[in-house]
Amino acid sequence: MTDLFQPLTLPNGQQIPNRLAKAATEENLADSEHQPGSALRTLYGTWAEGGVGLIITGNVMVDRHALTGPGGVVLEDDRQLPAFRAWAKACRSHGAQAWMQINHPGRQMMAALGQPARGPSAVSVAIQGMEKLFAVPQALTEAEIEEIIQRYVNAAKLAEQAGFTGVQIHAAHGYLFSQFLSPLTNQRSDQWGGTLENRARILLRTVDAVRAAVSRQFCVAVKLNSADFQRGGFAVDDAIAVVQMLNERAVDLIELSGGSYESPAMQGQSRDGSTLAREAYFLTFAEQVQQVARMPLMVTGGVRRPQVAQQVLVSGIAMVGMATALALQPDLPRRWRSGEMIAVEPVRVDWKNRTLASVATQAIVKKQLVRLSQGKPTNVKVSPLLALVTSQLKIKRQSKRYRRWVADVDQRD
């Protein structure tokens, strides 16, 4: 039986020291220049010390005009490399693999950031009562699509120069590549829309281009939705088909998650009425995908007990991703390895409005990330309402700072 602390050898020959990964979290802790400063170095150094075998960063944006949220990290040119080298060093300080997650929000961009949103089609984010929070998107031109692919390539090359050991291309959670994959948000009739092969084209082209631009020992991974959990959207059969397409490419690992802003299945909630497991939300879907995948798979979503993590491995999945659990208990892997079979209690906000409850839950978790970035222990005993209000005020301040920053950079360039 595969042990949680057994190394994993990837298709390119690189080795992950154990089967536990710090999955991506959106920290919104970039410095005033939208680079990884002391806060992110401290936070990731804490996770590295905690004993995970793989660290995947939160969103690193490939375009300064397209952020998933204020306080996001941006990587566009080599002037930013010193800060990223220091971040990579912190991530790798205890022997873990360190992969940079590279991403573009597409239509999931807040209106307060003051930038035009782009997506495969002009389909707005539809969350009841929150529609005005998101920018109204315009459909990307083919030239803009080609430019975005090159931005991913550029970010991957810079990540390797900075000392990261790989990149993860984000094609889940309703962000740009996920939008292209879903027939709900991709209503194009050209080579980028229609059939699943066309809807997957931007992802496949990006994977090929990134793989060709980096060295063989540099890992290239993909984060993919097992499903969107919206009726008529990207479903598990589609995920299986996309994995089969990726089988033909040099992909070192696929992480399976699910959901989007409209259906936050990654937080254990679905919009299509389906019921998710209380832990390892996407394991059932991953077991189906695993039947065809030629590369290792990783499952993220709700794992917080060692018994469940072991169950994931027994099912044939190679890696166990954790995000919220490690935000609350960053040394969990080290404690499991020493024989402490402890579990992390989930953050629960029992409000009738599930969307607000989801945002409040995120606010509580992000508060823990701030504490860890300051070298403080976590403390989840906070008021959900206070956490939500504080978070929204912080977003407002960060959005204003971002608008000033991007205008200054645009003027200089």
- Interval 158-216: pLDDT, tens: 999 999 999 999 999 889 999 999 999 999 999 999 999 999 999 999 999 999 999 99
Q: Which amino acid is at 344?
A: V
Cα-to-chain-centroid distance, residue 130: 22
Lookup result for tokens 């009739």:
189
Q: How far apart are CA 45 and CA 91, in angstroms?
A: 6
| CATH code matching the domain that covers 8-347, chosen among 3.20.20.70, 3.10.180.10, 3.50.50.60, 3.40.50.300 | 3.20.20.70
- Interval 286-318: pLDDT, tens: 889 999 999 999 998 889 999 989 999 999 999
CA nearest 203: which of 229, 218, 182?
182
- Interval 57-86: pLDDT, tens: 999 999 999 999 999 999 999 999 999 999
pLDDT in tens, the chain (413 residues): 579 999 999 999 999 999 999 999 999 999 999 999 999 999 999 999 999 999 999 999 999 999 999 999 999 999 999 999 999 999 999 999 999 999 999 999 999 999 999 999 999 887 666 677 888 899 999 999 999 999 999 999 999 999 999 999 999 988 999 999 999 999 999 999 999 999 999 999 999 999 999 999 999 999 998 766 667 778 889 999 999 999 999 999 999 987 655 555 444 443 333 333 455 567 888 889 999 999 999 998 889 999 989 999 999 999 999 999 999 999 999 999 999 999 999 888 989 887 788 889 999 999 999 999 999 999 999 999 999 999 999 999 999 999 999 999 999 87
| pTM for the model | 0.93
Q: What is the pLDDT of residue 271?
A: 37
Q: Which residues are CB-contacts of 275 (< 8 A; sequence separation ≥ 6)?
A: none
Phi-psi region of 174 (alpha: psi -120 to 50; beta: other; left: phi over 0): left
Please say whether the beta carbons of 31 and 372 come within 8 A. Answer: no
Cα-to-chain-centroid distance, residue 192: 23
CA nearest 276: which of 316, 243, 306, 303?
303
Which residue ranges make up each domain of the chain?
A: 8-347
